[in-house]
Amino acid sequence: MSAPAPTRPTACLALADGSIFYGMGFGATGQTVAELCFNTAMTGYQEIMTDPSYAGQLVTFTFPHIGNTGTNVEDDETTDPVAAGMIVKWMPTDPSNWRNTQSLSAWLAARGRIAVGGIDTRRLTRAIRHQGAPHAALAHDPDGNFDIAALVNAARGFAGLEGMDLAKDVTCAQSYRWNEMRWAWPDGYPQQLDPKHKVIAVDYGAKRNILRCLASAGCDVTVLPASATFDDIMAHDPDGLFLSNGPGDPAATGEYAVPMIREVLDKTDLPLFGICLGHQMLALALGAKTTKMSHGHHGANHPVKDMDTGKVEITSMNHGFAVDAQTLPTGVRETHVSLFDGSNCGIRLEGRPVWSVQHHPEASPGPQDSYYLFERFAQAMQENNIEKVLT
């Protein structure tokens, strides 16, 4: 016999402006405070919740069918969820998918993450778009007891993401090797047994599928913590350097990341490739600036134009800060632009195999239009090595 339906809301979302949203809680109980954003992806909620770039954020899903396929051990982008919590329109139904191993509610509860269903996510998304990403407090109490004034004060007391170096909280504690490639039917994740290029990946909050894409492109990947120095990197004698995605304010992470990147650029000719926060780190190292966006880009349907070819790619994005294209110095070219708002989505250092993009070519979730960037990185390392032999 099923338990009777609750007669009162068991979850409450309070915004810093005093707006209150009631719903039904699932996942863990308790309270959390974070910045509120929305994601428009129709698939991949497990990958989104475990994307380290969502540290310090509550995710509102605009697609209502969240949780219907359950969860599984293969789709985590990092060991545990990083997003602070989840807001959805409809409560998850019983999962129905051949890969399911655990319901979304049980998965969240086991990992200490709060979620709320029954929220008017269209209204909430409009508020975020019009007013910018607000600070919010989310509480789940099975008895439905909430101190509304305390929740609003908690939201107002949240420091915000500006000035916060969150990469240090989500980076790896020590270096490790990675050889798992992209998922393939029917065996899952194969191993890269014949790598051609030795790559150092600096982990500012790296997603596993990025590392898999590097391995699939023929790379022998060694992951180093965000605090890695020039000497740490060069001790591995790499063929290329990769700068990963990650959360927080790029200017804060740049305090220690930018000097390392500048030293690599000044003292070596290594091909360098950055994604998301890695893109912003490279831009800062080259002399540009970054800015906080109103509500950021979060979704799997963002059109980006390649300025070299004119081609439009549909991409996956997750960022609340952006590179200010007006501050790019001479010798640094803008290569990609968002067709939603014209914001910068890619740069390249002229005359060098050094470039980065704001969007996520590894998808997970999202389209794979931009996967060629990993192959371009591998090709740049091959050509660089050939040039060294010839000279």
User: Are residues 334 and 343 in contact, defined by beta-carbon separation less than 8 angstroms?
Assistant: no
How many other C-beta atoms can be found within 10 angstroms of the C-beta atom of residue 119? 20
DSSP string, 34-56: EEEEEE--SS-HHHHHT-GGGBT
**Token couple for 258:** 């930018």
> What residue has token string 């014949």?
194
Catalytic residue among 77, 276, 319, 359: 276
Tell me how far apart the alpha carbons of residues 126 and 93 are, in angstroms, rounded to a whole number: 26
Q: Known catalytic residue: 276?
A: yes
Q: Known catalytic residue: 362?
A: yes
Catalytic residue among 35, 77, 313, 362: 362
Tell me how far apart the alpha carbons of residues 88 and 265 are, in angstroms, rounded to a whole number: 44
DSSP 171: S
SS3 110: helix
Tell me how far apart the alpha carbons of residues 373 and 335 are, in angstroms, rounded to a whole number: 12
Tell me how far apart the alpha carbons of residues 277 and 257 are, in angstroms, rounded to a whole number: 11
Q: What is the crossing angle of helices 277-285 and 250-267, to 10°?
A: 60
Active site residue ranges = 276, 360, 362
